[in-house]
C-alpha cells in the first residue's frame, strides 16, 4: 500500500454537508438586507477544518408592499438570484465555529403603478456582500470527525450565537426606489438552539435582531429604520447521514422607518412558512431544495420563493 492522506469516511462527508443550510437567497428585491430568512440547521456543528463551497439559485415571484410614503402602488416582482458561497469551520476559544461568505447576483423585473401610470423597472447586478460568524456556546466544543459522528448518533442540546454583517456593495441607483443593493450597512445578532426531541427529530429555535444603517440617497428622502426583530422555528427530521427535511416558520416585527425626516406608520409584521429537503450524493456533494411562501406581510416582499443549491465538501 502507498502511504497517503487519510480519506474521510463517506458517512462523515454526507453528515458534514448537512451543515450548510441557508445562504441568503433573498426574496423579492435584494435591497432589503433584513430579508425574511429561513435557515434550518444553521447551528449544527462540523469537524474543525471543514470547507464547503456552495452555488445557489432562487426565484421569487409575488407582491412588494412598499412604505405608504412612496408613490408606487400594486407593485409585484419576478426576481432571479444566484449566490456563490463559501463556509470554513475553525476553532474559537475551544468551541466549534464557522464563517460563511456569500455574494448574490440578481436579475428581474418589478411592475406597479406610479400614481395612475403603469411603470416597469428592470434590474440586474451584484448584490450586497454578506459575512456570517457563528460559534457554538454550549454543547459543541471543537470536534474531530469521530466526535462529530458521536454527536450525530446521540444528539444533545446545543446553544449557538452568530453575527452577520451585510456590506453595501450591491448595485444601487439613487433615482430608483427598487434596487438590487441596499446602500446601507446591516448587522444581525442572533442566538440559536437545537433541542433533540428524538434521535432523528430536532427542534431548532432562533431569535435575533437586525440593526440597520441609514440610506442618505433614498429617492423619497434620507431613510432611517428602527431594528427588526426575528424569530425562527424549524422542525427537522433526519433520515440518513446528510439526508434531512424540515418544516420552517419565521416571524419578523419592527422596522419603523423615518423618511425625509417624517416617521412612517407602517412596520413589519411578517411571517413566512416553508419546507426544506437536503439530499447528499456521490460522497462529497449535496443538493438542497426549499420553498417559502408568505403567511402575513405588512411591509416588504410578499413573494413565493423557490431555492435550489448545490454544495460540495472541499475538505
pLDDT per residue as tens digits for the range 146-195: 998 898 888 999 999 999 999 999 999 998 888 899 999 999 999 999 99
Helix H, strand E, coil C: the string for the chain is: CCCCCCCCCHHHHHHHHCCCCCCCCCCCCCCCCCCCCCCCCCCCCCCCCCEEEEEEEEEEEEEEECCCCCCEEEEEEEEEEEEEEEEEEEEECCEEEEEEEEEEEEEEEEEEEECCEEEEEEEEEECCEEEEEEEEEECCECCCHHHHHHHHHCCCCEEEEEEEEEECCCCCCCCCCCCCCCCCCEEEEEEEEEEEEECCEEEEEEEEEEEECCECCCCCCCEEECCEEEEEEEEEEEEECCEEEEEEEEEEEECCEEECCEECCCCEEEEEEEEEEEEEECCCEEEEEEEEEEEECCCEEEEEEEEEEEEEECC
For the stretch 209-247, pLDDT in tens is 999 999 999 888 899 999 999 999 999 999 988 899 999
pTM: 0.89
- Domains (range + CATH), the chain: 10-313 (2.40.128.130)
Amino acid at each position: 500500500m502507498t502511504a497517503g492522506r487519510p480519506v474521510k469516511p463517506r458517512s462523515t462527508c454526507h453528515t458534514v454537508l448537512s451543515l450548510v443550510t441557508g445562504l441568503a437567497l433573498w426574496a423579492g428585491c435584494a435591497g432589503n438586507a433584513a430579508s425574511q430568512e429561513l435557515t434550518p440547521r444553521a447551528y449544527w456543528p462540523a469537524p474543525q477544518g471543514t470547507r464547503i463551497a456552495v452555488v445557489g439559485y432562487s426565484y421569487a415571484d409575488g407582491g412588494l408592499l412598499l412604505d405608504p410614503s412612496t408613490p408606487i402602488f400594486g407593485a409585484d416582482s419576478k426576481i432571479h438570484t444566484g449566490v456563490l458561497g463559501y463556509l470554513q469551520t475553525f476553532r474559537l476559544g475551544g468551541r466549534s465555529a464557522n464563517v460563511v461568505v456569500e455574494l448574490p447576483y440578481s436579475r428581474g423585473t418589478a411592475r406597479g403603478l406610479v400614481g395612475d401610470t403603469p411603470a416597469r423597472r428592470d434590474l440586474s447586478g451584484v448584490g450586497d456582500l454578506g459575512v456570517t460568524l457563528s460559534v457554538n456556546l454550549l454543547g459543541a466544543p471543537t470536534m474531530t470527525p469521530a466526535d462529530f459522528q458521536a454527536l450525530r448518533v446521540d444528539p444533545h442540546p446545543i446553544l449557538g450565537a452568530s453575527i452577520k454583517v451585510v456590506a453595501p456593495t450591491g448595485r444601487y441607483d439613487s433615482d430608483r426606489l427598487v434596487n438590487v443593493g441596499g446602500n446601507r450597512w446591516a448587522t444581525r445578532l442572533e442566538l440559536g438552539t437545537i433541542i433533540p426531541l428524538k434521535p432523528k427529530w430536532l427542534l431548532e429555535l432562533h431569535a435575533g435582531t437586525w440593526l440597520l444603517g441609514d440610506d442618505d440617497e433614498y429617492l423619497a428622502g434620507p431613510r432611517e429604520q428602527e431594528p427588526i426583530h426575528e424569530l425562527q422555528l424549524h422542525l427537522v427530521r433526519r433520515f440518513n447521514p446528510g439526508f434531512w427535511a424540515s418544516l420552517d416558520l419565521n416571524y419578523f416585527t419592527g422596522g419603523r422607518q423615518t423618511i425625509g425626516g417624517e416617521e412612517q406608520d407602517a412596520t413589519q409584521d411578517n411571517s413566512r412558512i416553508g419546507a426544506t429537503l437536503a439530499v447528499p450524493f456521490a460522497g462529497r456533494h449535496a443538493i438542497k431544495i426549499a420553498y417559502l411562501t408568505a403567511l402575513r406581510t405588512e411591509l416588504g416582499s410578499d413573494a413565493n420563493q423557490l431555492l435550489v443549491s448545490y454544495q460540495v465538501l472541499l475538505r
